[in-house]
Structure 1
Amino acid sequence: MDDTRGAARLSTLVAEAFAPAPLVLSLLVLAGWSGAGWPGALWGLGTALVVASLPMLVLRVLARRGLVDGHFVRTRAQRLPVYAATGALTALVGGAQVALGAPPVVPLTTAFVLGGILVLLVVTLRWKVSAHVAMAACWAVAIGVLVVPWAAAPATAVPLAVAVSRVRTGDHTPAQAVAGALIGLLIGLGYAAAADRVL
């Protein structure tokens, strides 16, 4: 029984530590740093606070008030307005970045985050897929461009751990985790190709 509880706690910890919001934050900061040093990192941090941390804070408040079933929004129907609102906010921020002269890699990264949200929105119209695993897979691929190429290999441990955790907590089926990984991999490869030209 204790082993089962320990595994459940570990799975929950992995899901929290490697949730989309902190991964988006680290991705945007690394992208900004890679493109323009400290000023770029600050652009990335500011962007992440608006497009990742703010929506997660709102979801936590909504969950406490019982308006959604948890800050990770487990019910498929409840995810649709979350994706739509987050996507609209991300698009506005991306437009502001371009208008204000952000380092090119930052709006590029924001655009790919938006692309991921839109893909998940479309898929969620018919089927629940793991946004956790999708973001983790995209992040792992991007690390190879933003840090060093060999870093992508050890970074693959993150989406694998996240996929196992999401299945073990009962939030997703293995098929939903695999689908999330494939979505994230494809978006990550597109991002890597585009970012490599900008950096």
Structure 2
Amino acid sequence: MPETASPASGRLSRSLALIITEGLAPTLLVGVFLLAQPLLTPGVTWLQSITAAVFTVGLPFALLLWLKHRGAVTDHHISVREDRAPVMAFAALSLGIGVLLLMFLQAPAELFGAMGAIFIGLVLCLLANLVWKLSVHSAVAAYIALALLAPVPALGPALALLLASAVGWSRVRLKAHTPEQVLAGHAVGCLVFAVSLLLP
């Protein structure tokens, strides 16, 4: 007779999944990635990176919290697929305004490349979520993990795969997504990373 997980181990795995889901949420990953640009990309100033972060994740997340407070969305992960389009559309608009401000601030091309990759990923996730609940957590985790870790010699791609897989596991463990939705998210994140290599 197959062994079943004990209640204690089940609670532990769920707690771990919650920590991973919240600690590696899309808003946090993208925000940290953009705020770290002065350390990662020569020529990017702190004002430019803060501007990028505010308009890419800060304002959209503020809108999301307001919608949650009003009861227009169920939670800050927008678990109901039909609720995602307006928030993601606003995020795309906000990002576009941020790009215009960065042009005024004379940001280097590399920062525009990062913003462009995020915009492409946002649009792909928006289009997918019009008909299917693709995992945005997984898409963002795959892209950010590759962007930060792929350049690391030898272990970089493996570490990126580990991070993205951990996020994917957490979403499935919490029953927020199916394995297929997580894998589709990973595919989108990898595609965006591949496109980002062609950008400035």
TM-score, normalising length: structure 2: 0.88
1:70 aligns to what SS in structure 2? coil
Contact 1:91 1:111 in 2 (8 A): no
User: What's the C-alpha RMSD, in Å, of the aligned pairs?
Assistant: 1.9
Contact 2:63 2:87 in 1 (8 A): no
Could you tell me the percent identity over the aligned residues? 30
Distance in 1, matches of 2:134 and 2:91, equals 17
Cα drift, residue 152 of structure 1: 3.6
1:130 is matched with 135
Computing the radius of gyration from Cα coordinates, the structure with the larger value is 2
Q: Letter of the aligned partner of 2:176 in structure 1?
A: D
1:22 aligns with 2:28: yes
Runs (4+) of structure 1 exceeding 6 A deviation are none
Aligned residues: 193
Q: Letter of the aligned partner of 1:24 in structure 2?
A: V
1:148 aligns with 2:148: no
Deviation per residue, 1:76-107 (Å, 9 max, x gap): 11001011111110111112212320122112
Q: Letter of the aligned partner of 1:10 in structure 2?
A: L
TM-score, normalising length: structure 1: 0.88
Cα drift, residue 137 of structure 1: 0.4
Distance 1:32 1:76, change over 3 A: same
Distance in 1, matches of 2:87 and 2:110, equals 26
Deviation per residue, 1:36-59 (Å, 9 max, x gap): 26x534422331133213322332
Gaps of 5+ in 2: 1-6
1:182 is matched with 187
Alignment partner of 1:81 out of 80, 86, 89: 86
The structure in which a higher percent of residues are helix is 1
**For residues 185-196 of structure 1, what are the structure 2 equivalents within 5 Å?**
185-194=190-199
